[in-house]
């Protein structure tokens, strides 16, 4: 056995240490202040306990300011939560407590479930435990000892977890003072390193192991950060997100609803459907000249889905369709399409295609259906039936780069029209399980890497880029486009995906310049992704204060007195003639009541008309969210609002024509 260990440090210096040296020893050899700040180490990128003996490799000393420490902080806080609960309610069984996105949770078996009122009490005890600053220490137990100890404590769920650990795998037990838990680790050095930037968020029910046949447990969710400022910012974003929740705004604005008879499918109301159609019309205009809009069937025989591979690897997410009547000769099994691509390949294959016709770009606003568990459904963001702004480009290998750049330009332009300025584009590369030769992947990834560099260069750094190794689909690499909204949340929307699989499965080909059959490159692309989800994102981004050109109801004309009703109707008609969506409110109510009511439904412009305005042929304009008002002539108001209500793509075309004519 080697008597020394060789460690490479971040500055590439190499030092030798005696075998058995711990991470803490290494930190102390650098400086006492670093040892005091250290919470863990990483050897060749794997995070380990500070007390672990080091092994040959590249070492990093992790402190609380390191991004990797956040998971440790949250993991340790979950353990402190479990200890606090058992101190306060002896006999409560602890089960599992993992770190999740934005925090952690712990599931407990308790005779009476926790309530939100219990959370402040638990938080107080957690702060006391952290203040004790007990060290985290690790022991390796035999399976027999672990079963015996947990069974004696009445921890039946822990016994089940012990039994589930594969033979030959160490059973790690972490202590914090006298309290201990079964855990893979790693942990920080002591509870005191957690700090006080944590908060318990909510309680919920959860079945043991997620199985409804098992007992119901109580789950406590929490979050933790390295700094109080980070926690405060997170809580602020949550509060903002709650105010912006598209489900609440959808009710207030009378846009849509869901009901049990149609789980995961949207009931669009008049205003909501107008907004949906505005989005579709805008996207349709953006395709003019470059794409052929097509429409493939929603219901297709399962044999087509078997050929595409969906029936094999996606069937659990598909809706099967058969004839409902008993007296029928057609006993075939059909499926609602979960994706548009197989249908588009059928359209491409219909008739011989020459290389001179490529690229062929087929677009569809296709209604697709995908099964999602009921617990995963979330308003417009996660549904079972939705509309994809889908397109498939069939091109030659040589055209692939130009097509990807053309798609990128369109995607970025669309996002900018909706006010999204911060965009991240990431390239997902080959996964372990994939179709296609390495040569095909090499070529596609090389082309897309060059495209990624061009995207960043053309944006002069405004568009951030990155690589997601191994995250590509099994059938080809892809670009993912992520937007940042008004409160800093990120939404992955657009994709550009190269596909080696479907053209081969369906035998798609074109005739090349040598009169040979050649398989085309197929590029999937979506800009909004799900139109429903994109509208949900827009509603939350603007907090319901939609830009005038997107708003489902753009103007309400409200009168102060019945003497102004005739003039109010004239104003409304003039605005409608100018292309605006207008409603009137001539009710016998106070004007402030009318304004408040229409503000709740997020009408962007309220035009107030009284006797004075009727005599002067003027209007008084109030904007949503503003206490001020602007008075102007009717003609000025019509011109101004008509311009503001014009979609940005149409404004650009007008400007281009003006410049050309000048």
Four-CA torsion 545, 546, 549, 550, nearest 10 degrees: -150
How far are the Cα atoms of 404, 448, 477, 497 from residue 442, in angstroms, in the given order?
A: 16, 10, 10, 15
DSSP 359: -
Catalytic residues: 341, 370, 388, 390, 392, 478, 524
**CA–CA gap between residue 316 and residue 370 (Å, rounded):** 9
Written as one string, the DSSP assignment of 227-294 is SHHHHHHHHHHHHHHHHT-HHHHHHHTT-EE--TTSTT--EE-HHHHHHHHHHHHHHHHHHTTT-EE-
**CA–CA gap between residue 179 and residue 152 (Å, rounded):** 15
First to last CA, the chain: 85
Rounded to 10°, the helix 270-287/648-661 angle is 40
Task: Give the tokens for residue 538.
Answer: 């827009």
For 482-520, give one letter per residue: b (16+ CB within 10 A) or e.
bbbbebeeebebbbbbbbbbbbebbebbbeeeeeeebeb
Helices (H), 322-399: 341-349
The 10 Å Cβ neighbour count of residue 297 is 13
How far are the Cα atoms of 409, 422, 480, 550, 600 from residue 459, in angstroms, in the given order?
A: 10, 11, 17, 27, 39
DSSP 529: E
Task: Give the tokens for residue 169.
Answer: 């795998």
Helices (H) and strands (E) in the chain, counts: 21, 33
The 10 Å Cβ neighbour count of residue 54 is 22
**CA–CA gap between residue 248 and residue 55 (Å, rounded):** 54
**CA–CA gap between residue 246 and residue 257 (Å, rounded):** 11
**Exposure of 259 by Cβ count < 10 A (0-12 exposed, 13-18 middle, 19+ buried)?**
exposed
Task: Give the tokens for residue 505.
Answer: 């499965």
**CA–CA gap between residue 101 and residue 223 (Å, rounded):** 9
Residues 6+ apart with CB under 8 A from 197: 224, 225, 226, 227, 228, 230, 231
Helices (H), 500-556: 502-506, 531-541
H helix or E strand, kind and range, residue 335: strand 334-336
Report yes or no: 560 and 575 within 8 Å, Cβ to Cβ.
no
Nearest C-alpha neighbor of 7 from the set 25, 26, 31, 24: 26
Collapsed DSSP state (helix, strand, coil) of residue 100: strand
Nearest C-alpha neighbor of 504 from the set 526, 479, 475: 475
Task: Give the tokens for residue 227.
Answer: 């700094």
Please name every residue paired with 362 in a beta bridge, in sequence order, or none if there are none: 292, 392
């Amino acid at each position: 056995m080697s008597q020394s260990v060789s460690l490479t440090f971040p500055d590439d210096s190499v030092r030798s240490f005696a075998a058995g040296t711990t991470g803490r020893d290494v930190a102390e050899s650098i400086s006492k202040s670093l040892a005091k700040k250290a919470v863990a180490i990483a050897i060749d990128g794997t995070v380990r306990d500070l007390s672990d003996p080091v092994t040959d490799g590249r070492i990093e000393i992790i402190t609380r300011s390191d991004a990797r420490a956040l998971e440790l902080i949250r993991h340790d806080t979950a353990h402190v939560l479990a200890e606090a609960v058992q101190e306060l309610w002896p006999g409560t069984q602890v089960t599992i407590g993992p770190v999740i996105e934005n925090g952690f949770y712990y599931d407990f078996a308790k005779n009476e479930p926790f309530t939100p009122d219990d959370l402040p009490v638990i938080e107080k005890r957690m702060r006391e435990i952290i203040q004790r600053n007990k060290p985290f220490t690790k022991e390796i137990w035999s399976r027999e000892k672990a079963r015996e100890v947990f069974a004696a404590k009445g921890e039946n769920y822990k016994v089940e977890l012990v039994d589930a650990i594969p033979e030959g795998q160490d059973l790690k037990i972490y202590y914090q003072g006298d309290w201990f838990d079964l855990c893979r680790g790693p942990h920080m050095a002591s509870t005191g390193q957690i700090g006080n930037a944590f908060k318990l968020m909510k309680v919920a029910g959860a079945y043991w192991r997620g199985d409804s046949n098992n007992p119901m447990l109580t789950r406590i969710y929490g979050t933790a950060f390295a700094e109080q400022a980070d926690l405060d910012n997170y809580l602020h974003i949550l509060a903002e997100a709650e105010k912006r929740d598209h489900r609440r705004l959808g009710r207030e604005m009378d846009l849509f609803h869901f009901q049990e008879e149609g789980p995961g499918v949207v009931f669009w109301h008049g205003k909501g459907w107008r907004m949906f159609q505005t989005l579709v019309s805008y996207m349709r205009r953006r395709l003019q000249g470059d794409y052929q809009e097509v429409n493939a069937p929603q219901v297709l025989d399962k044999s087509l889905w078997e050929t595409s591979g969906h029936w094999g690897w996606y069937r659990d997410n598909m809706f099967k369709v058969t004839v409902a009547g008993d007296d029928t000769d057609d006993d075939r099994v059909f499926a609602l399409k979960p994706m548009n691509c197989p249908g588009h390949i059928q359209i491409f294959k219909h008739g011989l295609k020459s290389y001179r016709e490529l690229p062929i770009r087929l677009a569809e606003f296709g209604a697709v259906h995908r099964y999602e568990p009921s617990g995963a459904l979330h308003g417009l963001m996660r549904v079972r039936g939705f509309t994809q702004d889908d397109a498939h480009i069939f091109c030659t290998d040589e055209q692939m780069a130009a097509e990807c750049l053309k798609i990128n330009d369109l995607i970025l332009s669309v996002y900018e029209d909706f006010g999204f300025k911060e965009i991240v584009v990431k390239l997902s590369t080959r996964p372990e399980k994939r179709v296609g030769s390495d040569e095909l992947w090499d070529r596609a990834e090389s082309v897309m890497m060059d495209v990624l560099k061009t995207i960043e260069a053309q944006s002069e750094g405004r568009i951030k880029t990155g690589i997601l190794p191994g995250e590509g689909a099994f059938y080809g690499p892809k670009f993912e486009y992520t937007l940042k909204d008004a409160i800093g949340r990120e939404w992955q929307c657009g994709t550009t995906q190269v596909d080696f699989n479907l053209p081969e499965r369906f035998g798609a080909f074109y005739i090349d310049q040598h009169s040979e059959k050649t398989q085309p490159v197929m590029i999937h692309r979506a800009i909004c992704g799900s139109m429903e989800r994109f509208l949900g994102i827009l509603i939350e981004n603007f907090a319901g204060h939609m830009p005038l050109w997107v708003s489902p109801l753009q103007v309400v004309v409200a009168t102060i007195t019945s003497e102004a009703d005739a003039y109010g109707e004239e104003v409304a008609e003039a605005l409608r003639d100018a292309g605006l969506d207008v409603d009137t409110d001539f009710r016998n109510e106070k004007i402030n009541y009318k304004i408040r009511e229409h503000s709740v439904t997020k009408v962007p412009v309220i035009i107030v008309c009284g006797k004075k305005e009727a005599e002067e042929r003027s209007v008084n304009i109030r904007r949503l969210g503003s206490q001020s008002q602007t008075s102007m002539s009717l003609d000025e108001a019509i011109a101004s609002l008509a311009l503001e209500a014009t979609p940005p793509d149409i404004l650009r075309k007008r400007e281009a024509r003006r410049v050309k004519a000048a």
